[in-house]
Amino acid sequence: MKIILISSRHKRSRSIELSRWSRALLSLCCLGLPLSLAASGYLVGQQNGPRLSEEAPDTSRDGSQQSVSLGGLSDPQLRAMTGNLAELEARMTRLDALGQHLTAIADLQEGEFDFSQPPALGGPMVSEFNTDAPITDLDRELSRLAAHIGDREQQLDMLESLLSSRKLEEQELLSGRPVKKGYMSSRYGWRADPITGKRSMHTGLDFAGKTGSDIVAVASGVVSWTGRNAGYGNVVEISHGDDLVTRYAHNKENLVVSGDVVRKGDTIALMGSSGRVTGPHVHFEVYKNGRAVDPSSYVARTQP
């Protein structure tokens, strides 16, 4: 292979004869240089590619880097709303339990209030619920619901206090008859003695009935004395406070002892014919400031 070199300055030419090895070396230089540059560029791209991918966040896998929304709400907002709803549900459960308790205290008619069932609601459909509502509107609605529940809790607490106070007053109020079944056989005042026939003062009311029937307390109090008296037979006395004492006499059997706390309506004795009597009945007396008074006004008293 011959190469001719021409000089523009001297206008001369010069030829160079290349051997076979020189031709091979020249071909290798001409073809190898572009290939080397291309290979170098590929290697540099391979080295920089993973580094760039590491710097860019993978939002498809990392949930903390990706803002996932449902109906316009992000994950943190949904978690906060779930917590708020759980708290409101717990408070509603407390309100249901309190409502059932108040229903029992108030002795309401069966079925009038049933806190074990969800409230009955209804009405025409105005519009569909918008799942894309702004989070501020939902927060405002949750706040309104929480305030409403708080107001209900306060009102129910006040109602419970009032009902408990009323129940306590009912228990303390001396009223009603000392028997569940029977009839009044003798009133308070002067009368002919049933044994001697002579005029005598009857200091109580007599309620006749069946032997063994219940004798009940007409108010809550503490049993101050139980025992036997020659004229009265088996006797139970209950102190009710405010210097009020009730006496139940001629009992077949006393079911309480001194120091017992009794509630209004509790059975304290069984009707009998002990003592000076002509038949089974209970002799009922009321003492005010240590003096016997006519029990009729207490028996006829109605509940508040």
Tens of pLDDT, residues 99-123: 667 666 666 555 555 555 555 555 5
Q: What is the pLDDT of residue 69?
A: 47
Is there a contact between 290 and 244 (Cβ–Cβ < 8 Å)? no
DSSP state of 272: B
Q: What is the pLDDT of residue 65?
A: 43
Query: Rounded to whole angstroms, how far apart are CA atoms 16 and 8?
Result: 17
* Main-chain dihedrals φ then ψ at residue 9, nearest 5 degrees: -75, -50
Q: What is the pLDDT of residue 223?
A: 96
Helices (H), the chain: 20-55, 75-106, 135-172, 296-299
Percent of the chain with pLDDT over 70: 52
Residue found under tokens 């240590």: 290
Percent of the chain with pLDDT over 90: 40
- Across 193-232, the runs of DSSP E, i.e. the strands, are 199-202, 205-208, 214-216, 221-229
Query: Rounded to whole angstroms, how far apart are CA atoms 220 and 261?
Result: 8
Q: What is the pLDDT of residue 88?
A: 75
Query: Rounded to whole angstroms, how far apart are CA atoms 88 and 83?
Result: 9
Query: Rounded to whole angstroms, how far apart are CA atoms 152 and 162?
Result: 15
Summary count for the chain: helices (H), strands (E): 4, 16
Is there a contact between 238 and 262 (Cβ–Cβ < 8 Å)? yes
Q: What is the pLDDT of residue 217?
A: 96
What superfamily in CATH does domain 183-299 come from? Answer: Glucose Permease (Domain IIA) (2.70.70.10)
Q: What is the pLDDT of residue 12?
A: 57
Q: Where in the chain is the domain with CATH 2.70.70.10?
A: 183-299
CA 106 distance to own-chain centroid: 18
Query: Rounded to whole angstroms, how far apart are CA atoms 182 and 184?
Result: 7
Is there a contact between 251 and 211 (Cβ–Cβ < 8 Å)? no
How many other CB atoms sit within 10 Å of the CB of residue 207? 23
Segments of the chain with pLDDT less than 50:
50-70, 128-129, 131, 133
Residue found under tokens 């109906």: 71
Query: Rounded to whole angstroms, how far apart are CA atoms 4 and 17?
Result: 9
DSSP H/E element including 137 = helix 135-172
Q: What is the pLDDT of residue 213?
A: 97
DSSP state of 304: -
pLDDT tens per residue, range 126-181? 554 454 545 566 677 677 777 767 766 766 676 666 666 666 667 778 999 999 99
Question: How much is the pTM?
Answer: 0.52
Tell me the DSSP string of 40-61.
Answer: HHHHHHHHHHHHHHHHS--TTT
Length of the chain equals 304
Distances (CA, A) of 282 to 136, 150, 235: 73, 52, 10
Query: Rounded to whole angstroms, how far apart are CA atoms 238 and 216?
Result: 11
Q: Which residues contact 103 (CB under 8 A, 6 or more apart)?
A: 112, 113, 115
288: which 2 tokens? 């005010």
Q: What is the pLDDT of residue 169?
A: 66
Rg (CA), the chain: 51
